[in-house]
Amino acid sequence: MNLTSLERSVLRALIKSSAGNGHDFGFIEDARRAVPQRSQLGGVVSSLVQKDVIEVYDPVRTDSGLWTQFKFRSIDTGEMTREQRDAAVAALNAEAA
């Protein structure tokens, strides 16, 4: 799968977001700093959804604001094991270094 540099940047941020939840889910808003302009985040997330990388759920309001939960689609559908995902994360991180 071909990802743009902006998609890879957002994906790295989403991976970090999900780390605190055992990589089962994370929050889209945690990726705001991964894009030059906040308005770009929606387009990048939409692209990742279209490429079946993530699945996005309805926003949830908490004391700290509105948060949109996501899950990694490939793990949920059984197309990728956690070990494969961890290897992909390592490759993304190595590419960023």
Give the model's pLDDT for residue 43.
92
Sign of CA dihedral 25, 27, 28, 31: negative
Q: Is the pLDDT of residue 94 over 80?
A: no
Q: How far is CA 16 from the centre of its chain?
A: 8
Residue 24: strand pairing partners: none
| Domains along the sequence of the chain with CATH | 5-96 (1.10.10.10)
User: Tell me: the pLDDT tens digits for 42-86?
Assistant: 999 999 888 888 888 888 888 888 888 888 776 555 566 666 666
Helix pair angle (82-96, 5-19), 10° resolution: 130
Give the model's pLDDT for residue 70.
85
DSSP code string of 7-71: HHHHHHHHHHHHHTTTTS-EEGGGGGGGSSSTTHHHHHHHHHHHTTSEEEEEEEEETTEEEEEEE
User: Tell me: the pLDDT tens digits for 9-26?
Assistant: 898 888 888 887 777 788
